[in-house]
Amino acid sequence: MAFDWRSIFEYETFKVVKVQDARLGVLYRLFQLTIAVYIIAEIFLKELYFQTEPPVPGAVRITLQAPDNLITPSYCNGPIPCTFWGANEILYPSDGAGVAFFTTRTSVTNYPNQPGCNTLRVSSPADPCFFKPTNNNVTILPKSYIADIEDFTLMVEHSVRGKATSIAIRNGLMDGELVSFNGTTIRKLTNATRTAINPRADGDIFSIQEILTAAGANLDSPSTAPGANKATGETYRSSGIVIVIIIEYKNVPFKKDEISYRYLPQVIDGNEYKVVENIYNTTDGSSTLIDRHGIRLVFQQHGTIGEFQFIALLTGLVASVALFKVAEVLVELIMLNLLPERNQYEEIKYYEIKHDD
């Protein structure tokens, strides 16, 4: 068959054919309705009407408070005794940015100063005044657990802001929830629940036991940390434990400019935590070492926040409306390939015009 060079310059144009066939008409409207429902659901469920962005982390402040009545727990009757400390002694350091450490086991030892030495003014490691723990020490507090640590309460205050948006908000103006490691909501957090615990509360108040339960942790369970003494069955109360708490932010569906958050705590398996606090005594030049093991909380702020913008909604609509073309393609495939009248429809749809010079 000879090649017709004129086919190179063919031009295709659309021809509108109205097919009065109820079978095709019903299918076409059904496809359109399905696509319309999908578009509406996609826009509202995925909040395509928001200009969204990751939140810029603000300050996360954690404070600790002792319960009104301290008790003597059963673990105090074991080989390691207990000591009763206040919130200021347990929380170390007193103010951390996004982190907190609560002492669960401690010991305190004093190391006298060598005559004529100042351990803060040492010229080199070889200097005989360089501080090194020795047997010449005084035990101020033997290895002891902190009594009733689970009943202490912590207050968490946090805030976020947007970069591309004008959002700037603190948790006292948002609703939230504490979610356990398995996805179960443990407690809802609203202004009503906050003021019910403390009318002057600026943040969310939890007991340490609540945080441990939400993270799936038990201080009296055997520690999985590599450095833990497996032979004696050392527990997390003794070795320490690390819990990461993600604060996840998102917009409240169908509510303009309202943001909610969730606390998502999780134990870091195999981690222990220890801090040695060195206090230099200016009166006699001695050094007091406070060996602390305990609960390390690390807060991370994540999520997506946004505010309503008409351009964002319009962009979502324009991108979604193109799906209506799918309805036409599906109906035409059925019309030209499945119906008994397909040959007739094909003949009407495709019409070739030849122009002879």
Closest by CA position to 271, among listed 304, 245, 252, 295: 295
Shared domain check, 143 and 103: yes
Shared domain check, 68 and 36: no
> pTM (2 decimals)?
0.75
CB of 34 closer than 8 Å to CB of 330: no
Shared domain check, 176 and 324: no
Q: Average pLDDT, stretch 309-335?
A: 76
Q: What is the DSSP letter of 346?
A: H
In the prediction, which pLDDT does 293 show?
97
- Into how many domains does the chain fold? 2
Tell me whether residue 355 is in a domain: no
Shared domain check, 284 and 217: yes
Shared domain check, 323 and 336: yes
Report pLDDT digits (tens) over 263-304. 999 999 989 999 999 998 888 888 899 999 999 999 999 988
User: Can you give the residue range of the structural domain that contains 68?
Assistant: 54-306
Shared domain check, 38 and 69: no
Shared domain check, 60 and 45: no
Shared domain check, 148 and 244: yes
Q: Is pLDDT at 46 greater than 60 in this prediction?
A: yes
Cα–Cα distance for residue pair 346/136, rounded to 1 Å: 102
Lowest mean per-residue pLDDT among 9-23, 174-188, 205-219, 292-306: 9-23
Shared domain check, 257 and 331: no
Cα–Cα distance for residue pair 228/235, rounded to 1 Å: 8
Shared domain check, 326 and 279: no
Shared domain check, 42 and 177: no
**CA distances for 223 relative to 91, 230, 236, 287, 298, angstroms:** 22, 8, 5, 31, 19
